[in-house]
Structure 1
Amino acid sequence: MRRLVKWVVAVVVIIVLGVGGYWLFQQHKTTTTEQDKTPATKQVKLVAIGDSLTQGIGYANDHKGYLPDLKNDLQKAYYVKLSSSNYGIGGLRSDQIDKRVRTNQKERASLKKANVITLTVGGNDLLQSLEKSIFVSSNKQLDSKLTPVKKTYRKKVQRLIKDIRAVNPNATIYMFGIYNPVYVYFTNATMITNAVAQWNVVNKSVAQQSDNVHFVSISKQLTYGQYQSAASKAKLKQEVTKSNSKYVSASSVESLLQNQTSKEKNDYLSDEDHFHPNHRGYRYMAKTLAGVMGKYESWQSK
């Protein structure tokens, strides 16, 4: 009888161990399978070139701009590990950005290794053009002055893209548009608004006509800030005494910016210079760029 009991107990133990071992094996197999399904993290090298919007001027003087937020956004949304290099320099025009692409060996070496290239260009070209268009009193006169300059600017941007491609034929290029930083002070100055719109048309069309180049629009948010509705814009016009002229000189704009001591009226621009984005503005640039990237990159979503 004792032998029978021992035999039964032994059989039960064997069965329990067998079932438990099989369950553990299946659990391990399932866990391993799930781990195998997780996409590998892709190493992405981003190189940012351009003017002050790339350098990051306007936000606490840390010169980081939109890149830190972009890195966080992409790594939260995709299986990517982003590393970046920032070659932005405030004040550069399109031809000066291009010259660095052609001659700066450190920048060229970095561009060559890039998977993604971001570009801010056009704001300083437009500022220079508007400074030469002080004495205009109609959109017709403004268009007459800007048309030849705009054609020249288009050729410069096309050459810039071509020279980037000579260094790196394969990286995806994302080109930002520009915005009107003084709209909240010169709300009726259609001269500036129209000129910004024309420059954005150039950037967008060059991007569309180039392989693997995409336009990133930031004008609406950074120009109008929190004044997005028709009612808020109408109220702003009533509040701003300097908004009663459609055509303002570049010197008037410069004077206002230099003498502005109050808090910036546009919630997306800097209190320091009333011209460049603040952290919220650069955060918007990063979010918008990440959204455009999501349409064109083949990264696995988390």
Structure 2
Amino acid sequence: MHRLLKWVSAILILIVIIGGGWFWYQYQQDPKNTQQNKPLVMKTVRVVGVGDSLTQGIGYDDDHQGYLPILKQQLSQDYDVKPKTANFGIGGERSDQIDRRVQTNQKLRRALRRANVIAITAGGNDLLQSLEKNITVNSNAQMTQKMTPLKTKYQQKLTQLIADVHEVNPRAQIYLFGIYNPVYVYFTNATMISTAVNQWNQVNQQVAASQPKTHFVNVNRALSHGQYQSANAQAKLKEENQQNNQDFVDPGKVQTLLQTQDSKEKNAYLSTEDHFHPNKKGYHVMASKLGQAIQSSVNWPKR
């Protein structure tokens, strides 16, 4: 009897092992149950935009969304990630005002701390204020003398802004946009404005290069020249603007242009509402340029 019980126990154990192995085999063969066919959870990447009206999105059909929704769509198409965006742009702010928000706005600081990517637009209002203060100069020498200390001060403010963003989140990649000349296609030969824009862009580029994990995003030529990118198009544009052939443009003409609201805008990338901010096509340019910069500095899984 004792020997029989041993045999029965051994047979039962063998049945359990064989049966368990069979059910495990069936489980593995069933595509509904196999772990390999379950969808993977996509990595969430957070993009925070902070800055002036170019972040806020002014000029784009008055929806104040700008380049961020376009960038989000591009990232979803290019990478196997789940992008989330947050917009902290306020029109009219200078670099020091943006920095003050970075230092004190708790909602912004929370978003920055969680960000993988931080995009910044700054400098346009600093430059505009500097030009307004020196609008009466009538020579390059005077312009350089007036603008040099203002440019130095701007560089200090911008450097502090980037440093404060890094202090909130030292892990994120930071992308600093350059600025552009919104009246270039009307005053192509007015070197005063173009030179000042170029100098401010040099500051942005130098500050980005001096800071860790910070990249310069150049949109100057694309947005300033609009559809007039080729050498032939530029030559024709200069011919058309012979009446504005002076280096130092009449500020009244610029002011009149920017205050004119009509359905015509010579630059196909700028808004007809104010002839200053990008339209939808212009914000697509910003999103594309930022996307290219992101591609060169992240290792997100691609589709």
| Bin for the TM-score computed over the shorter chain | 0.7 to 0.9
Q: CA RMSD in A?
A: 2.1
The more displaced of 88-97 and 41-50 is 41-50
- Structure 1 match to 2:72: 71
CA distance in 1, matches of 2:62, 2:260: 20
Whether 1:102 aligns to 2:99 is no
CA distance in 1, matches of 2:220, 2:30: 53
Deviations 1:135-174 (A, max 9, x none): 2222222111111100000000010011112211211111
- Structure 1 match to 2:61: 60
The more displaced of 254-263 and 229-238 is 254-263
- Write the letter of the residue equivalent to 1:164: V
CA distance in 1, matches of 2:295, 2:215: 12
User: Residues 237 and 243 of structure 1 are in contact (CA less than 8 Å); yes or no, is this contact kept in structure 2?
Assistant: no
Whether 1:168 aligns to 2:169 is yes
- Write the letter of the residue equivalent to 1:238: E
Is the alpha carbon distance of 1:72 and 1:182 closer, same or farther for their aligned partners in structure 2, counting shifts above 3 Å? same
CA distance in 1, matches of 2:258, 2:177: 24
- Structure 2 match to 1:291: 292
CA distance in 1, matches of 2:170, 2:272: 40
1:263-302 pair list within 5 angstroms: 263-302=264-303
Deviations 1:161-194 (A, max 9, x none): 1111221121111110000000011111111101
CA distance in 2, matches of 1:187, 1:233: 9
- Structure 1 match to 2:136: 135
TM-score w.r.t. structure 2 length?
0.86
Q: Indicate the SS of the match to 2:296.
A: helix
Instruction: Extract unaligned runs of 5+ from structure 2.
Output: 1-24
Q: Indicate the SS of the match to 1:271.
A: coil
CA distance in 2, matches of 1:277, 1:129: 22
Is the alpha carbon distance of 1:242 and 1:170 closer, same or farther for their aligned partners in structure 2, counting shifts above 3 Å? farther
CA distance in 2, matches of 1:168, 1:283: 27
1:69-218 pair list within 5 angstroms: 69-218=70-219
User: Residues 209 and 216 of structure 2 are in contact (CA less than 8 Å); yes or no, is this contact kept in structure 1?
Assistant: yes
CA distance in 1, matches of 2:77, 2:260: 41
CA distance in 1, matches of 2:223, 2:118: 22
1:239-258 pair list within 5 angstroms: 239-240=240-241, 242-258=243-259
CA distance in 1, matches of 2:110, 2:259: 38
The more displaced of 130-139 and 211-220 is 130-139
Deviations 1:190-212 (A, max 9, x none): 11101100000000110011000
Aligned residues: 277
- Structure 1 match to 2:22: none
User: Residues 181 and 193 of structure 2 are in contact (CA less than 8 Å); yes or no, is this contact kept in structure 1?
Assistant: yes
Q: Indicate the SS of the match to 2:85.
A: strand
User: Residues 225 and 266 of structure 1 are in contact (CA less than 8 Å); yes or no, is this contact kept in structure 2?
Assistant: yes
Shift of 1:238: 2.4
User: Residues 135 and 249 of structure 1 are in contact (CA less than 8 Å); yes or no, is this contact kept in structure 2?
Assistant: no
CA distance in 1, matches of 2:53, 2:220: 16
- Write the letter of the residue equivalent to 1:186: F
Deviations 1:23-67 (A, max 9, x none): xx8896xx976x58x975210111110000000000111000001
User: Residues 45 and 84 of structure 1 are in contact (CA less than 8 Å); yes or no, is this contact kept in structure 2?
Assistant: yes
